[in-house]
Amino acid sequence: MKTGRNLAITDVRVIVSSPGRNFVTVKIVTESGIYGVGDATVNGREMAVATYLQEHVAPCLIGRNAHDIEDIWQYLYKGVYWRRGPINMACVGAVDMALWDIKGKAADLPVYELLGGKSRRAVTTYAHATGNDVTETLDQAARLISEGFQTIRLQSAVPGMEGSYGVMGDKKDYFEMQSSRPLPPEQPWSTRKYMNSVEDLFRQARARFGPDVQLLHDVHSRLTPIEAARLGKMLEPYDLLFLEDAVAAENQESYRIVRDHTTTPLAIGEVYNTIWDCKDLIQNQWIDYIRTAATHAGGITGLRRIADFAAIYHVRIAPHGAPDLSPICYAAQSHIGLWAPNFGIQEFVGFGSAQSAEVFRHDLRIENGMIHVGESAGLGVDFDEEAAARYPYKRSYLPVSRLEDGTLWSW
Ligand code: GCO
Ligand code: MG
C-alpha cells in the first residue's frame, strides 16, 4: 500500500441515508486505497449539503494531495469567495474530517495522536433527562446517574404548553424526529409559562440528588437578553454547570446583558459555523463554554482553531452532540476532546439507533459517562455503503415555534 507524501484523491462519494434518521456522509478515496469519512449532516436541509458537495466540491478535490488538509480547508473556505454559512461550512467540515481520517490511517495513528496526544484518559459527557413532568424527568435523571453519568441536562414539559423543547412526547427515538410528518410541525411557546415552571425542576433536582451531580439546561434560544439574565439569576441557587443557548446570538453583544447580571455559567455555539461567529463572545469572556460542532464549524481544523482561541480566555469547549451529528462527528469530537487542554464536556445522547450501528461501525465505547476512544488509526469509524443503501433518505423537518398569538418565534 502506497502511503508516501503524495496521496492523490481519486474519488469523492456523497451518500445520503436514513438509518433511523437522515445523515449526509462523504467518503474520500485516495490512489493508495486509503479512504476517509466525514459527516456533513445539516438537520432538515440534507439535500442542500449533498448537492453542494456533489456538484461543487467533489470535482475540485480530484487529484489533490489528501495530506494537504490546511490548504484544502482554505481552498474550500477562502477559495469559494462565499465564506461561512451552514451549508458551505458543513461541507468544509466533512471534507476536513475525512482528510484527518486519511492522514491518521496513512500514519497508522489515531487522530488524537496527530493533534498532540491525549490530555486525559477519556471524554466526559453529559446525558439528557426529559419528561412530561418534573417527576418523570428526575426519574430519568436517576436512571442515568445509576448508569454512571455525573452530569445531566434536564428538560421538562412546560405545563399548559404543548410540544416543549427537549421533551419526547409520543416520539420513540428523539424529540426532534419528524419523518412521519410531511411538513414542519408548529409548536406554541409562552415565555411566561416557561419562566414560571423552570425553577421548580431545578429546585426538586437539587433536593433529590444533592450538590454533587452537575446539572444543566438548554433554553434553545427562546429568551431575550434581559429575560435570560433573569433566568440565570433565578437558577443561581441550583449551581448549573451551564445554561445553554439562553438567547439567539447572531448579535454576540446580546450576551453582555446576560453576563452582567448573573454568575450562572453560559454556553452557546451549536449553530455557529466559524470562529468569527464566536469571536466577540469568547474574547469578551461573555460565555464559559463554546459548543460548536466539528460538522458545522469546519471540521477538526475549525474546531481546533476555536479551542485554541477560547483557551486564552478561560472558555472551554463543550461540543454539540445531538442525534443529527453522525457517529463520524462523534468520533472526530472525541479525538478533539481527548486532546484539547481546555476541553469541558461532550453532549451525549447515545451512539444512535440499531440501524445506524449497521451503517457506522466505530470503536468508541461509553463507560461511566465517559467516551473511550479506541486505538484504530484515523478516526476509528467506518461507513458501510451497502448497509446505508438499505435506508434511503426521507424528507424530514425540524419544528417551528410560534407565540400563542401566532408570531413566529425561535424554535
Ligand atoms: C442540543 C440541540 C439539539 C438541536 C438539534 C438541531 O443541545 O442537543 O439543541 O437538540 O435542536 O441538534 O438539529
Ligand atoms: Mg442545544
| 245 residue type, one letter | D
Closest CA to 149 of 132, 125, 130, 172: 125
Rounded CA-CA distance 339/331 in Å is 13
CA 220–ligand 2 middle distance (angstroms): 6
Rounded CA-CA distance 177/171 in Å is 7
**Which residue is it, cell 475525512?**
98
C-alpha cell at 342: 481546555
**pLDDT score recorded for residue 391:** 97
What letter would DSSP give residue 289? E
Domain locations in the chain? 115-377
CA 319–ligand 2 middle distance (angstroms): 10
Hey, what CATH class is 115-377 in? alpha beta
Query: What DSSP element (H or E) covers 267?
Result: strand 266-268
Positions in the chain whose pLDDT score sits under 70: 1-4, 168-181
- E strand intervals along 311-411: 316-317, 346-347, 360-362, 365-367, 370-372, 381-383, 400-403, 408-409
Give me the residues paired with residue 316 across strands.
289
Kindly state if the Cβ of 46 falls inside 6 Å of ligand 1: no
**pLDDT score recorded for residue 167:** 79
Q: What separation, in Å, do the N-terminal and C-terminal C-alpha atoms of the chain show?
A: 50
**pLDDT score recorded for residue 410:** 96
- CA 173 and chain centroid, separation: 17
Does residue 220 have an active-site annotation? yes
Dihedral (Cα; 326, 327, 329, 335), 10-degree rounding: 170
Please work out, in degrees rounded to the nearest 5, the angle formed at the alpha carbon of residue 155 by the alpha carbons of 372 and 131.
100
Q: How far is CA 5 from CA 110, 116, 192, 361, in A?
A: 18, 20, 61, 28
Helices 86-107 and 69-77, packing angle to 10 deg: 170
**pLDDT score recorded for residue 1:** 45
> Which ligand 1 atom sits nearest the alpha carbon of residue 175?
10
CA 380–ligand 2 middle distance (angstroms): 26
Does residue 165 have an active-site annotation? yes
**pLDDT score recorded for residue 169:** 59
Rounded CA-CA distance 307/59 in Å is 31
- CA 176 and chain centroid, separation: 14
